[in-house]
Amino acid sequence: QVQLVESGGDLVQPGGSLRLSCAASGSIFSTNVLGWYRHSPVKQRELVAQVTSGGSTTYADSVKGRFASSRDSAKNTVYLRMNSLKPEDTAVYYCNADRVATMRGYEYNVWGQGTQVTVSS
């Protein structure tokens, strides 16, 4: 079974930076689209960024110019670099893989457990 494990969440001051990582494990051949979502008590789940298998990226308007996502397919890892953080970026950030090819076939819509990002002075 595929597992996604996020790391890198922390408490940071406004204007600061963080880098989140999400590592996939479990006899994986390849992953398709890898995405970062966030959820907070005041907002519904929001798609923050996506990276396709070819490396193309899309971002939510609220993070464009501040966040950058990339992936290392050899390591089955996706990253989210977050700069110029704002208090409204405070949320639990989740990693998602829409389709993962494994030795046992495909797994769909796989989620990590989330990592907390808090932006506060």
Please check whether residue 12 is in contact with residue 117, taking contact to mean a CB–CB distance below 8 angstroms: yes
Residue 16 CA, distance from chain mean position: 18
Phi, then psi, of 17 in degrees rounded to 5: -135, 155
pLDDT tens for 31-64 read: 899 999 999 988 889 999 999 999 999 999 999 9
pLDDT tens by residue, 64-119: 999 999 999 889 999 999 999 999 999 999 999 999 999 999 999 999 999 999 99
Is there a contact between 42 and 91 (Cβ–Cβ < 8 Å)? no
42's tokens: 């005041």
Which DSSP category does 27 fall into?
S
Backbone angles phi, psi at 6, to 5 degrees: -90, 155
Using alpha carbons, select from 117, 100, 92, 81 the residue that is nearest to residue 37: 92
